[in-house]
């Protein structure tokens, strides 16, 4: 058995989202898989006994039917599985058609396995990957049986340590009824859901193919011309020679009409990458929701690879939003217009499926974001699914994209810094082409000897990280600490925003006068924050407010009830208050339209508002 380290997939090239085309086929391996729970005190027993050599049924251990994608924790009624610390094993069989046998690569791609995934095809190791919530893939062509049944085996390990991203610690606890059990300890304010949590795909590419595409966009001064710079990597290894080929690009509008463009060679591409600069006249820029009458305009870019005889070798299409991001000491701007964020620190979690990809749930969440008048969210505290990023592009919702370095104990070791760097590179590589990604968040609430985030702005030497940031985001209730927020801008001369503020409330608990935990209390705390935010906005450098959190969450043996929405995506009372604020800000700052139902009718002279009154 080869060492895991030899199989690590830390790709910062490739990993294009699987899309069908004239030259590519995609098959989903989602569905019901078979799963068994590993021995908590012997997590690698299955590796040592080589369970992957044959069907898991041969182990004689209990198999569980398990949906993929989904977190396994809340699917069954088994408490031990919900709280399991260690490894689980997944398995499914699949066919590969004989038509796939010649002149193509076949790739096996996972959207996410949390936290570690080790994969075998027909008993042969193909890939090892760390860092949950990030995709990985392997060329499995030589491991497949064409026209026959193949077996796919995955070992998933959910254990966190002091050097993982995010960190944690496995301890043994003495429980009277159950005896000694392993427990995962961390400072995370969300549950450590695990399993194959996003889709699994099998897809093909030609032998000579487009393996990677990176794009950047910008606008001219009056936003009438758009510029797209793209670089494409041919084949699957950076050190392989580029065949005699020709890259071409076409651009289509949202109605699939080809757009007239001007093309030239892109001289800024690195070795083995080829690319073009594309100029678009009369461009339709990508705008966020409520900042423009026609937000979220996406073009479709088709990249084609030809040989010298003009034979099409490969074709790949991807959505492109053309926008320009700029910033200075007081503002963050999109297409020359200052941004004021109105959003949430949003987790990717729900009942039953945990952190599993769920299209109806995702659609519901974006409907709620637009209903409440939000224009942004932060991917707290880990990368969200690729599908949700695509949906944000389509809906015009801005994203602050966060590395999974949440609640770090320390950044002081080379191991931790190396893992953080790997996770950061994979995240930025995966999401760099999304117009919705407006900013990157490198960590959340870390603690180290330099006091990277929990530091006093009066002591700038102790806040070494802040000097390297473009924007400073604070997790701080601003109602009582506006002066501290002001100090951060004064010391570092950079835009500041609040990334987390909020309070717990229990849905359906109403008390007058209000008391802690009631829905009235939730609203009262928000009103105090609104006043503080408005005072900060007058300073000219405060650029946004994010509620913590979007929905109620599950924690280790407890619950986080800070959500504006319940765990089943229904509004608490405070949601209606926040909706009024967000749409009022949209009207004030971006001249957006006020919904007719924002202020319900009370009498002919009270409670009946229109946009002109705001």
Mean of per-residue pLDDT scores for the chain: 90
- Indicate if the pLDDT at residue 176 is higher than 70: no
The CB-side HSE value for 598 (13 A sphere, CA atoms) comes to 23
Ranges of CATH 2.60.40.10 domains, the chain = 210-325
| Cβ contact 209:314 at 8 Å | yes
**What confidence tier does 239 reach under pLDDT thresholds 50, 70, 90?**
low
pLDDT tier for residue 9 given thresholds of 50, 70 and 90: very low
Choose among 168, 170, 275: nearest CA to 214: 275
Residues 485-512: tens digit of each pLDDT: 898 899 899 999 999 999 999 999 999 9
Q: Please indicate whether residue 447 or residue 265 has the higher confidence score (pLDDT).
A: 265
The pLDDT score that the predictor gives to residue 530 is 96
In this structure, are residues 122 and 145 in contact, taking their beta carbons and an 8 Å threshold? Answer: yes
Q: If we measure between CA atoms, which residue out of 404, 3, 504 comes closest to residue 168?
A: 404
Counting residues of the chain whose pLDDT is more than 70, the rounded percentage is: 89
Q: Model confidence at 406, in pLDDT bands (50, 70, 90)?
A: confident
Start-end of CATH 2.60.120.260 domains in the chain: 4-158+194-206
> What is the structure's pLDDT at 2?
42
| Residue 124 is a catalytic residue | no
Query: Residue 212's pLDDT is what?
Result: 93
Nearest C-alpha neighbor of 120 from the set 236, 40, 15, 1? 1
pLDDT at residue 272 is higher than 80: no
Backbone angles phi, psi at 524, to 5 degrees: -60, -40
Q: Are strands 225-234 and 341-346 parallel, antiparallel or unpaired?
A: unpaired
Calculate the CA 605 to chain-centre distance.
Answer: 46
Which residue in 243, 335, 210 sits closest to 590, CA to CA?
A: 335
Structure confidence at residue 556 (pLDDT): 65
The correct CATH number of 4-158+194-206 out of 1.10.1040.10, 3.90.226.10, 3.90.1150.10, 2.60.120.260 is: 2.60.120.260
Whether omega before 346 lies within 30 degrees of 0, making that bond cis, reads: no
Of 368-372, 445-449, 468-472, 557-561, least confident by mean pLDDT is: 445-449
Bridge-partner residues for 116, per DSSP? 157
**What would the mean pLDDT of 534-546 be, rounded to a whole number?**
96
Determine which one of 348, 445, 500, 519 is catalytic. 445
Question: What distance in Å separates the CA atoms of residue 364 and residue 366, rounded to the nearest whole number?
Answer: 6
Q: Tell me the CATH class for 340-613.
A: alpha beta
Q: What's the CA angle centered on 272, arms 267 and 273, to 5 degrees?
A: 50
Q: Give 294's DSSP letter.
A: S
What's domain 210-325's superfamily in CATH? Answer: Immunoglobulins (2.60.40.10)
Cα(106)–Cα(382) distance, integer angstroms:
29
Asked if residue 249 lies in contact with residue 301, where contact means CB atoms within 8 angstroms, the answer is yes
Percent of the chain with pLDDT over 90: 73
Q: Where in the chain is the domain with CATH 3.20.20.80?
A: 340-613
Residue 192 burial by CB count (10 A; 0-12/13-18/19+): exposed, middle or buried?
A: buried
pTM over 0.75: yes
């Amino acid at each position: 058995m080869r060492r895991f380290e030899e199989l690590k997939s830390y790709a910062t090239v490739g990993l294009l989202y699987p899309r069908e085309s004239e030259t590519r086929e995609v098959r989903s391996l989602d569905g019901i898989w078979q799963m068994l729970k590993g021995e908590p005190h012997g997590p690698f027993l299955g590796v040592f006994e080589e369970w992957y050599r044959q069907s898991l049924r041969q182990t004689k251990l209990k198999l569980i039917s398990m949906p993929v994608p989904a977190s396994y924790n809340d699917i069954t009624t088994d408490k031990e599985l919900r709280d399991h610390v260690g490894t689980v094993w997944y398995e499914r069989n699949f066919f590969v058609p004989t038509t796939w046998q010649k002149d193509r690569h076949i790739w096996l791609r996972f959207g996410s396995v949390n936290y570690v995934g080790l994969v075998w095809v027909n008993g042969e190791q193909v890939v090892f990957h760390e860092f949950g919530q990030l995709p990985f893939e392997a060329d499995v062509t030589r491991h497949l049986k064409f026209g026959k049944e193949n077996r796919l085996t995955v070992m998933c390990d959910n254990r966190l340590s002091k050097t993982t991203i995010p960190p944690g610690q496995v301890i043994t606890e003495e429980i009277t009824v159950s005896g000694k059990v392993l427990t995962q300890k961390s400072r995370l304010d969300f549950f450590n859901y695990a399993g194959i949590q996003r889709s699994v795909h099998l897809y093909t590419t030609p032998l000579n193919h487009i393996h990677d595409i990176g794009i950047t966009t910008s606008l001219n001064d009056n936003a009438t011309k758009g510029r797209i710079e793209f670089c494409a990597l041919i084949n699957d290894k950076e050190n392989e020679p580029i065949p005699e080929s020709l890259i071409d690009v076409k651009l289509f509008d949202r109605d699939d009409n080809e757009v007239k463009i001007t093309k030239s060679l892109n001289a800024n591409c690195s070795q083995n990458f080829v690319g073009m600069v594309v100029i678009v006249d009369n461009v339709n820029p990508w705008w966020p929701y409520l900042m423009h009458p026609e937000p979220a305009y996406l073009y479709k870019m088709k990249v084609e690879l030809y040989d010298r005889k003009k034979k099409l070798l490969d074709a790949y299409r991807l959505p492109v939003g053309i926008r320009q991001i700029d910033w200075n000491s007081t503002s963050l701007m999109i297409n020359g217009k200052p941004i004021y964020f109105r959003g949430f620190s949003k987790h990717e979690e729900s009942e039953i499926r945990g952190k599993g990809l769920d299209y109806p749930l995702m659609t519901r969440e974006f409907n709620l974001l637009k209903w409440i008048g939000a224009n942004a969210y932060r991917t707290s505290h880990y990368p969200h699914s690729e599908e949700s990023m695509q949906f944000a592009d389509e809906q015009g919702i801005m994203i602050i994209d966060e590395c999974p370095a949440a609640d770090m104990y320390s950044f002081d070791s080379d191991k931790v810094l190396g893992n953080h760097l790997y996770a950061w590179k994979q995240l930025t590589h995966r999401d760099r082409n999304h117009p919705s990604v407006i900013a990157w968040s490198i960590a959340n609430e870390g603690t180290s000897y330099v006091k990277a985030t929990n530091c006093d702005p009066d002591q700038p030497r102790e806040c070494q990280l802040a000097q390297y940031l473009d924007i400073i985001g604070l997790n701080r209730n601003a109602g009582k600490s506006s002066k501290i927020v002001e100090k951060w801008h004064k010391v570092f001369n950079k835009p500041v925003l609040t990334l987390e503020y909020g309070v717990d409330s229990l849905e359906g608990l109403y008390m007058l006068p209000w008391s802690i935990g009631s829905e009235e209390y939730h609203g009262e705390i928000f009103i105090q924050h609104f006043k503080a935010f408005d005072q900060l906005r007058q300073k000219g450098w405060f650029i946004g407010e994010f509620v913590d959190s979007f929905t109620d969450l599950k924690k280790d043996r407890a619950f986080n009830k800070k959500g504006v929405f319940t765990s089943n995506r229904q509004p608490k009372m405070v949601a209606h208050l926040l909706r009024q604020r967000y749409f009022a800000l949209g009207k004030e700052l971006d001249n957006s339209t006020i919904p007719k139902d924002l202020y319900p009718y009370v009498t002919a002279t009270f409670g009946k508002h229109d946009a002109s009154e705001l």
